[in-house]
Amino acid sequence: MGMTSFWWRRMGASLLVTAVGAAGLVSAAAPDHPGDGGSGLVTTWGAADDIAGGTLNDVTVRNVLRTSVGGRELRIRISNANGDQPLVTDSVYVGRQASGASVVPGSSRRLTFSGSTSVTVPPGAMAISDPLPGNVPAVTSLTVSLHVAGTTGVITAHNRAMQHSYKSTSGDHAADESSTAYQTESSAWYFLNAAIVEAPQQVETVATLGDSITSSVGTTIDTNRRWPDVLADRYAKLPEPRRLAVSNEGISGNRVLGGVAKAGSAGASALARLDKDVLTKPGVRTVLVLEGINDIYAGATTDELIAGYRQLIARVHASGRCVVGGTLTPMGSSFVYTPEKEAIRQAVNTFIRSSHEFDGVADFDAATRDAADPSRLKAEYDGGDGLHPNDAGNQAMGNAPALDSLRCK
């Protein structure tokens, strides 16, 4: 299947994306965007649902996310997808991050859900906030602070976020702009599934479906040096109608085949989570798949892994979207490597490059391999375990795809 035309139309008022002053998250009303065909909802930031250990009781969690594209009418999607009891929150605020857990003074705004300041999210469900009037800038770090009323039970979270979030002392501290109450750092995003904005209709979202290499384990925490962030920064430099948003749907340890979500797990498999983590996110038009090394490590054969890819391709195409295959990066000096497993990686990459079953190819292997030993990462890209690229390796990966190659046509 080729890069097919958009099979639905996203409706909405025309808009103008503008930057805001340092003191505000969003500005008030803005003039309409001139000369385009309207607007639609896009996911400017996303994370895949997993499970964090323990429970939370009467505390506030402050998550930090970074937008990819700008837009208007910010909505936040909260997830209790893996919970075993209702998630009750009675206070959710969004602001601009100053540093750490502190919020830029005057930028904090309260979210509502169907007109209410509280929301109960049933087990297995999600909730989307009402739109927050005004404009949200691109590539900007936001805080989303959520007070947990009562006790959570199983926590839906995204582990190994490569971004600190913060847990407060007891009570509702969602509106606090200082960091005083936030005494505990965490490396997970709690209950936060997506940030959604209205953007010009030409702007769509690329969802990067993958494992720890897409979550970018091995990069410097709190610096947004993941390769999907590098990709988003490249799009942010284009004229507005040519920009694409990027939603990072990687889960550390994830596999294409097998696997279910449980505490301490690597999340449900890509095949199991494709609909929830990717296809239900607003504006997703292209899925960029970079996943399979964990399957090879777990004993999957070439044929089994290719069969899994073909199911992902078929399901993405059936939804009217495009899917790009990312070649598997080198693992030659890692714990995964054996000559037999390297042969599978090479065979899988040959399929991704030459089968023409994907709508395009992002050759991450070529971008990161050592010319003298193609089974290994370049030394300057090795995060230290022979498997996970460091900041420089993620920079090379984020620069690898041609920008127009990820635009579904």
- Pairing state between β 244-250 and 204-210: parallel
Do 254 and 283 fall into the same domain?
Answer: yes
Give me the amino acid identity at 369: R
Q: Can you read off the two tokens belonging to residue 305?
A: 């892994």
Confidence at residue 259, expressed as pLDDT on a 0 to 100 scale: 63
Q: Which among 132, 164, 193 is the end of a domain?
A: 193
Question: Residue 264 falls within a domain, yes or no?
Answer: yes
| Burial class of residue 189 in the structure, from the number of CB atoms within 10 Å of its CB (0-12 exposed, 13-18 middle, 19+ buried) | buried
- Say how far residue 286 (Cα) sits from the centre of its chain: 13
What is the CATH number for 124?
2.60.120
272, 301: one domain:
yes
Same domain, 279 and 324: yes
Q: Does any domain span residue 96?
A: yes
Instruction: Determine, yes or no, domain membership for 326.
Output: yes
Range of the domain at 177: 47-193
Give yes or no: residues 217 and 361 share one domain.
yes
Task: List the pLDDT tens digit at each of the 409 positions of the chain.
Answer: 344 322 222 322 222 222 333 345 654 333 334 334 688 999 999 999 999 999 999 999 999 999 999 999 999 999 999 999 999 999 999 999 999 999 999 999 999 999 999 999 999 999 999 999 999 999 999 999 999 999 999 999 999 999 999 999 999 999 999 999 999 999 999 999 999 999 998 999 999 999 999 999 999 999 999 999 999 999 999 998 899 999 999 999 999 998 654 444 577 899 999 999 999 999 999 999 999 999 999 999 999 999 999 999 999 999 999 999 999 999 999 999 999 999 999 999 999 999 999 999 999 999 999 999 999 999 999 999 999 999 999 999 999 999 999 999 8
Please check whether residues 57 and 182 belong to one and the same domain. yes
- For the four alpha carbons of 257, 262, 267 and 271, in that order, the dihedral sign comes to positive
Judge if 206 and 183 occupy the same domain: no
pTM value?
Answer: 0.90
Q: Is residue 28 part of a domain?
A: no
* Token pair of 110 as six digits: 């309260």
Among the candidates 166, 193, 220, a domain finishes at 193
218 and 327: one domain?
yes
Q: How far apart are CA 25 and CA 97, in angstroms?
A: 9
Query: CA dist 326 to 104, 169, 219, 391, Å?
Result: 38, 43, 19, 19
Tokens read off for 306: 């290719």
Residue at a domain's end among 193, 214, 246: 193
281 and 378 part of one domain: yes
Same domain, 164 and 221: no
CATH number of the domain at 223, please. Answer: 3.40.50.1110
Indicate the number of domains in the chain: 2
324: tokens are 């790009």
